[in-house]
Structure 1
Amino acid sequence: MPRFPEKAVIITGSSYGIGRSAALLFAQEGASVTITGRNSERLQETRQLLLKSGVPEKNVNLVVADVTEQNGQDQLIKTTLDKFGKIDILVNNAGAAIADDTGAIGTDQTMDTYHRTMQLNLQAVIEMTKKAKPHLIATKGEIVNVSSIVAGPQAQPEFVYYAIAKAALDQYTRSTAIDLIQYGVRVNSVSPGVVATGFVGAMGMDNQASQKFYEFMSSRKECIPARVAGHPDDIAYIILFLADRKMSSYIIGQSIVADGGSTLVMGMQADMKSLTGN
């Protein structure tokens, strides 16, 4: 039996990576899915992936939109209601570490980069939550936010604005979870570590540099103890778990860390073996 029969799901940032994987898994489990992103070509690729897997066309709602814009948010809500009649699950997945136009990092990044980073990674989540709230209350639905291990407590000196935004998102998850559970709506999040998606490409790396990045991180036990970069499906399965009321009903306002052990190691441990002779 499918896990999400007759459920209507909105997944922001579903034109590639984690969002695309989540859309496919939800749809294969019986859900009707609104997929969205700014890149129409990549979004069509997501749609074709779903259809080729056997998902009925009536279960897919494609919306080319910018989730940081009011019109885009309104379009997501309206078209989902028009096509599916309700909203059961909101997955706030869209996010990025926005590279500064000047090439600056850390405290030298411009305030424009700060505002764009916060708008995408935090404000858009807040606005989508507010707009979906009455519909989720009506269905006693679920919200799953996609955060990141950069939220802390370790410092992130190069992409400080992105880290700030995700740390704020974690607090927003906790706070809205308590606010909305009185209406029967659950809110949780997942915090991925290094996952092989187009994420670093959005930061300015080309395909070759991105591949080298993932290979390097996977080769260093002090970076990823599991010695492998995550796959979008690794995170998508957690999203489905958190959206499944039968499987995770007693989890409220929590963030599941999925990082191959990255947050369990410290920089000082990197050369411990050479120091101890073990």
Structure 2
Amino acid sequence: MTRFSGKSVIVTGCSNGIGRATAVLFSRYGAQVTITGRDSERLEVTKEKMLKAGALPQNINLVVANLTDPNGQDHIIQSTLKALGKIDVLVNNAGANIVDGTSNTDQSIDLYHKTFQINFQSVVEMIKKTKEYLIKTKGEIVNVSSIAAGPQALPMAPYYAASKAALDQYTRCVAIDLIQYGVRVNSVSPGAVSTGFLTAMGLPEQAQQKAESFIASHKECVPAGVLGKPEDIAELIVFLSDRKRSSYIIGQSIVADGGSTLVAGMHAHDLHDMLGL
């Protein structure tokens, strides 16, 4: 399929989960893709999946880099320009809920800085550094946020939630600034998605499976009764990257959460059960 034939795409955070699924989907649609992350072995797995999806080897640019390092950002961008010639789409997917043993209002200030550096500052820097190239191609930017941004609270991880809320507002501001140059900016806000996110926080695989099972089986968590898949979010990212299909969507954060943000705990329970009828 050639939906993105001739388009050059950067996807950050491709070692697993949503980033990997997005890179594979872009490849299936004929795009040239820069995949990047810190884990070279996992990036090779992503590359193999892209090749199986139909990507040509010359259409995959693999870059091992630390996105929180300005030199790493420059390497990603310059490598893309050298290998693929231009930048049509920037997908700021990389992010993390970093843990250090603290939680709630006891979270450390060091954790605050690290969380905002990857979830917010790196996005700001990548947009600033790719702006001139995206203006040339009348390109697209898609940021990956989270329903943790609110308005409901996430008291156990306030820095993660606040960084995503900041990203949502930044998306809106940048969207209005850049649309005058023909560049569209939007974001996606996933809910509970099975991505390995919890194991990246240090939890064992068994604990993640237990948590995912609990969330999926409680309708006050996910009314749909099932966790999302990385591919669900990838489809939305690709949709927002497609000018032909989403041209009039500007500065929006599209929620994909199985209904989670539509319910309060009380409303999720059957009235007859609550009344004992």
The TM-score with structure 1 as length reference comes to 0.97
Helix, strand or coil for the counterpart of 1:67? coil
Residue type at the aligned position of 2:265: G
User: How much has 1:74 moved relative to structure 2?
Assistant: 0.2
Alignment match, 2:25: 25
Q: Which stretch shows the higher mean deviation, 223-232 or 198-207? A: 198-207
CA offset digits 1:47-72 (Å, max 9, x no partner): 11112232110000000001110111
Alignment match, 1:61: 61
User: How much has 1:272 moved relative to structure 2?
Assistant: 5.2
Helix, strand or coil for the counterpart of 2:255? strand
Q: Say whether 1:144 aligns with 2:169.
A: no
Alignment match, 2:175: 177
Q: Say whether 1:70 aligns with 2:70.
A: yes
Report the identity percentage: 64
CA offset digits 1:91-150 (Å, max 9, x no partner): 0000011112xx110110110100000000000000000000000000000000000000
Residue type at the aligned position of 1:107: T
Instruction: Give the conservation status (yes or no) of the 8 Å contact 2:104–2:155.
Output: yes
Q: How many angstroms apart in 1 are the aligned matches of 2:223 and 2:24?
A: 29
Q: How many angstroms apart in 2 are the aligned matches of 1:200 and 1:3?
A: 34
The TM-score with structure 2 as length reference comes to 0.98
Q: How many angstroms apart in 2 are the aligned matches of 1:112 and 1:268?
A: 36
Alignment match, 2:4: 4
Instruction: Give the conservation status (yes or no) of the 8 Å contact 2:27–2:53.
Output: no
Q: How many angstroms apart in 2 are the aligned matches of 1:111 and 1:74?
A: 28
Q: How many angstroms apart in 2 are the aligned matches of 1:55 and 1:268?
A: 48
Structure 1 ranges of 4+ moved more than 6 A: none
Alignment match, 2:199: 201
Alignment match, 1:39: 39
Q: How many angstroms apart in 2 are the aligned matches of 1:52 and 1:236?
A: 17
List alignment gaps of at least 5 residues for structure 2: none
User: How much has 1:203 moved relative to structure 2?
Assistant: 1.8
Q: How many angstroms apart in 2 are the aligned matches of 1:270 and 1:205?
A: 28
Alignment match, 1:276: 275
CA offset digits 1:255-277 (Å, max 9, x no partner): 11000000011023355533234
For residues 110-129 of structure 1, the aligned pairs below 5 Å read 110-129=108-127
Q: How many angstroms apart in 2 are the aligned matches of 1:92 and 1:108?
A: 29
Alignment match, 1:256: 254
Alignment match, 1:215: 213
Residue type at the aligned position of 1:70: P
Q: How many angstroms apart in 1 are the aligned matches of 2:242 and 2:256?
A: 18
Q: How many angstroms apart in 2 are the aligned matches of 1:26 and 1:275?
A: 47
Instruction: Give the conservation status (yes or no) of the 8 Å contact 2:220–2:269.
Output: no
User: How much has 1:222 moved relative to structure 2?
Assistant: 0.7
Q: How many angstroms apart in 2 are the aligned matches of 1:45 and 1:260?
A: 28
Alignment match, 1:81: 81
Aligned residues: 276
User: How much has 1:29 moved relative to structure 2?
Assistant: 0.4
Helix, strand or coil for the counterpart of 1:143? strand
Q: How many angstroms apart in 1 are the aligned matches of 2:117 and 2:140?
A: 22
